[in-house]
Amino acid sequence: MWSVGAIIGLLIAGIVLGVLGRLLAPGEQKIPFWLTILAGIVGALIGNLIAGWVGVKDTPGIDWWRHIFQIIAAVVAVTLAASLYPKARTHA
């Protein structure tokens, strides 16, 4: 079970990584802010997984490699979300 602190931390990481992902992703991403946050959360989780596989998830000091993996994963997640999100909605 996740604690309230872990959920809040994941939301904050999702906002920060989502915004960084949008800034670093190529082109214009016409996605809503909630999807940006979701892409950031996905980036945080995937970045942590990759850092764990590589063996750099928990290091003394700042975990630079983990953060780099998270940012790269967030850029990929934002790009993927932007390509899958409907470009224009038609009203019936």
Whether 18 maps to a domain, the answer reads no
pLDDT of res. 39: 96
In-domain check, residue 12:
no
Whether 61 maps to a domain, the answer reads: yes
Backbone angles phi, psi at 54, to 5 degrees: -80, -20
Domain around 47:
31-87
In a domain, 45, yes or no: yes
The verdict on residue 68 lying in a domain is yes
pLDDT digits (tens, 9 = 90+) for 30-76: 899 999 999 999 999 999 999 989 988 777 888 889 999 999 999 99
Rounded to an integer, the average pLDDT of 14-20 is 95
Going by C-alpha positions, the residue among 10, 66, 72 that lies closest to residue 38 is 10
